[in-house]
Structure 1
Amino acid sequence: MSRVQANLLLIVIALIWGSAFVAQSHGMQHLGPMAFTGVRFLIGALMVAPLMWFEWRGLARKGRPLRRIDGAKIAGLGSLLLLGAAMQQIGIKSTTVTNAGFLTALYVPLVPVLGWLLWRHLPHWSVWPAALACLAGAFLLSGAERLTIGPGDLWVICSALPWAFHVVLVGRVADRMEAPFLVAGGQFAVCGLLALAWAMVYEPLSWAALEAAAWPLMYTGVMSVGVAFTAQVVAQRYAHAADAAIILSSETLFAALFGYYLMGDRLGPAGLLGCGLIFASMLAVQLIPALVMLHSSINSRLTQN
């Protein structure tokens, strides 16, 4: 898979996540945040299970079975996934969607910073202005004039750190193990089982509530987790983590579009400007490096001639 194909796949992932916003909102009317998180991630794990089995057998035939350290890495990714998803869901219950939309995007500038701190890996210079423009776009899109910081907002702010670590690590782990489906399904199972165990102890959980939230659970479990999160693992084997963070943040833009068509939401001038900034950021991280390389290649050929 080429870098361009990986980035296009990331855009599709962001579209799916944006479309799942309505389903998540409806599902939370019937279930607690940990119960909803646990069930939908277990549905996602079941979706990927056949691919996991084929990949496991393929690794065994090649004489490269997974080691304990590989299982520990997958469990670590699942724990990061749980922390990010759970804190975000808890925060959404006591804050506005407006605030949550902007505060979740705080992970975007964290990704290149973490990449530099952990591995001294400097991304292309275009990532830094694109990340700031993306953050500003999310701020405008969420309705900056209504932003206040409360307990729910703090939960969402805290969720940005595990989300950033997950984006930085997931492609790296999957690439080194050469087992994207085992990584994807394994982290779903860890996240789902831990969240559901917590919910069974601390949240009201009943069969009637699960039936009432069946369609939101199925949509988010199959599409948002089973399809989109698995595709993220595959795409990030070939895309730079900082680029991926910016492209995936367009989930906010797609959520606004689906809100426009499905819920009657309307954007003012600030919101439209925010959409434009996020879209421009997505284009910048893909086009600027390509144009710089093309310019260097042309100059090199002219010099040789």
Structure 2
Amino acid sequence: MKPHKAELLLLLVTMFWGSSYLFMKMGLNTLGEFNLIALRFGLAFIAAGVIFYKRLRNVNAGTLKYGAVLGFLLLAVFTCITYGLKTTTTSNAGFLVALTVIFVPMIEVLVFRKRSQLQQLFGSLLAITGIGLTLNSSLHMQPGDLLCILAALFYAVHILVTGKAVKSCDTLNLGMVQLGFTGGFAWILSAVWETPALPSSVPGWIAILALGILCSACGFILQPIAQKYTSPTRTGLIFSLEPVFAAFFGYWFAGEQLSVQGYAGAALVLLGILASELLGKANIKKEHFSCPHDYEA
């Protein structure tokens, strides 16, 4: 798969995840936090397993190991988000979780000692500035805000671990296995701390089906498949569009509207992605033409 096709798939995944805040709010009206996560990822694993059961039978120990780690990280991400949504707004949650775009290159530089490319840092800076402008009001730090920042940190680690795992694992099996572990971990916590139950209303069922099939089954299976053909930093940058899609779905389905400042922020996010793309290609061409000795006999 070519990088631009992989990044289009990641864009589709981001669109699904942008709608998830609306569906999570709907689901939390009748379900507990761990119960919601368990139903979401359990349904996703069952749906994917039914379709790809022949492939799933060939899962090896390495995929199970990485799947368990990724499943734990996803559980941490969505536990922080679902509890965070109790004491913060959807706009704040979308902005703060999108800090993943900053945490990915930061972890790569500080932990893995990897040198980050200038165009990626520039694109990330534009994108995170744009995300800030899409807020409808100023940020007021609440406990939920801190949880969403922690979710962004876990998300960044998830992206980096996925980037390592796809080098040695079957990407489709990896995507399915992590869903199963996330759902299983959440069911255990729900049984201990809550009373597991099915949705008791039509909006609750709509939320679970959308979260399970679109946001989880499609999203977390397509992510490792596509991420194999692009970099973790570029993945995090594309994921920065999540709050923009959240605003789009809010406009169409909840009657919410962005201010002029909000539309300016959305434009900056897009500009950040384009800057990373175009400057990256320009840098590759510059390096290519600055080394003529490579073609000498």
Normalising by structure 1, we get a TM-score of 0.89
Determine if contact 2:98/2:242 at 8 Å carries over to the other structure: no
Evaluate the alpha carbon distance shift between residue 228 and residue 56 of structure 1 in structure 2; reply closer, same or farther with a 3 A threshold. closer
- Choose from 166, 172, 184 the match for 1:174: 166
Evaluate the alpha carbon distance shift between residue 50 and residue 121 of structure 1 in structure 2; reply closer, same or farther with a 3 A threshold. farther
Q: Indicate the percent of aligned positions where both proteins have the same amino acid.
A: 26
Q: How many Å apart are 1:276 and its aligned residue?
A: 0.9
Aligned to 1:294: 285
Distance (Å, rounded) in 1 between the aligned partners of 2:295 and 2:73:
50
Aligned to 1:2: 2
Determine if contact 1:171/1:234 at 8 Å carries over to the other structure: no
Aligned to 2:244: 253
Map 1:18-97 to 2 at 5 A.
18-50=18-50, 52-56=52-56, 66-67=60-61, 69-97=62-90
Q: How many Å apart are 1:117 and its aligned residue?
A: 3.4
Q: Read off the aligned partner of 1:202 and give its amino acid letter.
A: W
Q: How many Å apart are 1:208 and its aligned residue?
A: 5.3
Task: Give the secondary-structure state (helix, strand or coil) at the position aligned to 1:149.
Answer: coil
Q: How many Å apart are 1:132 and its aligned residue?
A: 1.8
2:176 equivalent to 1:185: yes
Aligned to 2:231: 240
Q: How many Å apart are 1:109 and its aligned residue?
A: 0.8
Gaps of 5+ in 2: none
Q: Give the RMSD, CA atoms, in angstroms.
A: 2.3
Q: How many Å apart are 1:174 and its aligned residue?
A: 2.1
Q: Deviations over 1:245-282 (max 9, x none)?
A: 01012011111112112211111122111101111112
Task: Give the secondary-structure state (helix, strand or coil) at the position aligned to 1:89.
Answer: helix
Aligned to 2:153: 161
Evaluate the alpha carbon distance shift between residue 84 and residue 112 of structure 1 in structure 2; reply closer, same or farther with a 3 A threshold. same
Determine if contact 1:44/1:225 at 8 Å carries over to the other structure: yes
Q: How many residues align?
A: 296
Determine if contact 1:93/1:152 at 8 Å carries over to the other structure: yes
Determine if contact 2:171/2:224 at 8 Å carries over to the other structure: yes
Distance (Å, rounded) in 1 between the aligned partners of 2:8 and 2:290:
29
Q: How many Å apart are 1:210 and its aligned residue?
A: 7.1
Task: Give the secondary-structure state (helix, strand or coil) at the position aligned to 1:13.
Answer: helix
Q: How many Å apart are 1:114 and its aligned residue?
A: 1.5
Map 1:119-268 to 2 at 5 A.
119-143=112-136, 145-177=137-169, 179-207=170-198, 209=200, 213-268=204-259
Distance (Å, rounded) in 1 between the aligned partners of 2:172 and 2:120:
28
Q: How many Å apart are 1:41 and its aligned residue?
A: 0.5
Distance (Å, rounded) in 1 between the aligned partners of 2:250 and 2:173:
34
Evaluate the alpha carbon distance shift between residue 55 and residue 263 of structure 1 in structure 2; reply closer, same or farther with a 3 A threshold. same
Distance (Å, rounded) in 1 between the aligned partners of 2:6 and 2:128:
22
Q: How many Å apart are 1:90 and its aligned residue?
A: 0.5
Q: Read off the aligned partner of 2:60 and give its amino acid letter.
A: L
Q: Deviations over 1:107-163 (max 9, x none)?
A: 2111012123343332322111211222111111123x4211111111112112111
- Choose from 264, 272, 289 the match for 1:281: 272
Gaps of 5+ in 1: 60-64
Q: Read off the aligned partner of 2:138 and give its amino acid letter.
A: R
Evaluate the alpha carbon distance shift between residue 20 and residue 158 of structure 1 in structure 2; reply closer, same or farther with a 3 A threshold. closer
Distance (Å, rounded) in 2 between the aligned partners of 1:107 and 1:124:
17
Q: How many Å apart are 1:56 and its aligned residue?
A: 4.5
Distance (Å, rounded) in 2 between the aligned partners of 1:7 and 1:154:
30
Q: Deviations over 1:45-83 (max 9, x none)?
A: 1122146533355x5xxxxx623x542221111000100
Distance (Å, rounded) in 1 between the aligned partners of 2:94 and 2:202:
28
Determine if contact 1:84/1:160 at 8 Å carries over to the other structure: yes
Evaluate the alpha carbon distance shift between residue 180 and residue 210 of structure 1 in structure 2; reply closer, same or farther with a 3 A threshold. farther
Q: How many Å apart are 1:201 and its aligned residue?
A: 2.5
Distance (Å, rounded) in 1 between the aligned partners of 2:243 and 2:199:
32
Determine if contact 2:175/2:221 at 8 Å carries over to the other structure: yes
Task: Give the secondary-structure state (helix, strand or coil) at the position aligned to 1:154.
Answer: helix
